[in-house]
Amino acid sequence: MRALQVFQLGDPVDVLQVASVPSPEPGPSQVRIRVAAAALNFADDLVCRGRYQVKPALPFTPGMEVAGTVVAAGPAARAREGQRVMALAALPHGGFAEEALAEDVTTYPIPDSLSDVEAAALLVTYQTAHVALHRRGALREGEWLLVHAGAGGVGSAAIQLGKAAGARVIATAGGPAKTKRCTELGADVVVDHRREDFAPVVARETGGRGADLIFDPVGGDTFERSRKCIAFEGRLLVIGFASGKIPEAPANHVLLKNYSIVGVHFSRYASFNAGVLDAATADLIRMHAEGLVRPSIDGLLELEEIPQALSRLAGGGTTGKLVAQIGSTE
């Protein structure tokens, strides 16, 4: 079968190559999936460079989320051959290939209402946003939610889920195309961070209160400025560091302003409490059926186009989700 493989670590454009490799054998609790669609994530770029927390042995195939058909299942897996599923792919046999492996615990049946492309885009970013806003952030109806990089992968999911929960959403994004996208996604207030500082806008829009919940996938200065406009008893969700800068917060500031800094690592739930991801996924499928969430798909790709697309994504040059169509179950 054909797979994109990393033979040495580096820029995806330089190190990802299409190779012909044997079909991977599922372990006892794994399934092998014939991939119909695989969505791209910021972390795919990091893993190719060896800068992600998961560091598979070389050579490996990246790609974290797929939709497709189960073609083989280990004896302890619940999923059955022929079943249409979406799954978090298990590296080193990731989703940028005609076949991928996944742990059964992060493999979910797909309802007919969900296309392959949408299903592939409904896991990493939406599970992250769901776990962040609800389990970790305890978002309440009517609260002010500030979402950074709102036109991006996790950000676009957070805007939709925030609105679905009855929050008032302020989004930040860089440039007119991205701010327009945030408005289309349902944000009530949108700030182009290239043109103005979001902190005074948040203070003004919330009547001086500040944001109750802040969703930050950017880090660096964005995190710094977020601490200036967080509400009393606010929660600042640490989602990621797309800026490349890991920020620090002085504990006295956290104490004086009475706020919380809350870490979010959605995939750790697969090891510690998989029921949380099961419940989030069931809720996402329900919300999709009710029209409350729609993955923002901004590009369909061939397998060979993935390296260039990952480079654009990691450079901040994309909106929403990019999805590679590799086969089809439909």
Ligand X SMILES: NC(=O)c1ccc[n+]([C@@H]2O[C@H](COP(=O)([O-])OP(=O)(O)OC[C@H]3O[C@@H](n4cnc5c(N)ncnc54)[C@H](OP(=O)(O)O)[C@@H]3O)[C@@H](O)[C@H]2O)c1
User: Burial letters for 72-101: b for 16+ Cβ neighbours within 10 Å, e otherwise?
Assistant: bbbeebebeeebbbbbbbbbbbbbbbbbbb
What distances in angstroms separate CA 180 from CA 187, 219, 237, one per listed residue?
A: 10, 23, 24
Near ligand X in 154-173, by CB under 6 A: 154-155, 173
Told to check if 107 binds ligand X by CB under 6 A, we report no
Determine which residue in the list 244, 300, 302, 308 makes contact with ligand X, applying CB under 6 A. 244
**Distance of closest approach, residue 83 Cβ to ligand X, in angstroms:** 26
Q: Which is nearer to ligand X, 135 or 265 (CB)?
A: 265
Determine which residue in the list 119, 242, 284, 287 makes contact with ligand X, applying CB under 6 A. 242
Amino acid at the residue 75: P
Cα distance between residue 162 and residue 168, in whole Å: 8
Q: Which is nearer to ligand X, 47 or 110 (CB)?
A: 47
Told to check if 269 binds ligand X by CB under 6 A, we report no
**Distance of closest approach, residue 225 Cβ to ligand X, in angstroms:** 12
Cα distance between residue 122 and residue 38, in whole Å: 11
Of 14-22, 39-47, 108-116, 204-212, the window that binds ligand X (rule: CB under 6 A) is 39-47
Told to check if 124 binds ligand X by CB under 6 A, we report yes
Cα distance between residue 140 and residue 100, in whole Å: 38
Q: Which is nearer to ligand X, 70 or 324 (CB)?
A: 324
**Is the previous residue joined to 59 through a cis bond, with omega within 30 degrees of 0?**
yes
CA dihedral (321, 327, 329, 330) positive or negative: positive
What pairs with residue 84 in β-bridges? 69
Of 85-93, 121-129, 252-260, 295-303, the window that binds ligand X (rule: CB under 6 A) is 121-129
**Distance of closest approach, residue 239 Cβ to ligand X, in angstroms:** 5
Near ligand X in 82-101, by CB under 6 A: none
Torsion (CA) 207, 211, 217, 218 in degrees, nearest 10:
50
Near ligand X in 125-154, by CB under 6 A: 125, 128, 149, 151-154
Phi, psi torsion values for 24, nearest 5 degrees? -75, 145
Chain residues binding ligand X by CB under 6 A are: 41-43, 124-125, 128, 149, 151-155, 173-174, 178, 217-218, 239-244, 264-266, 313, 315-316, 318
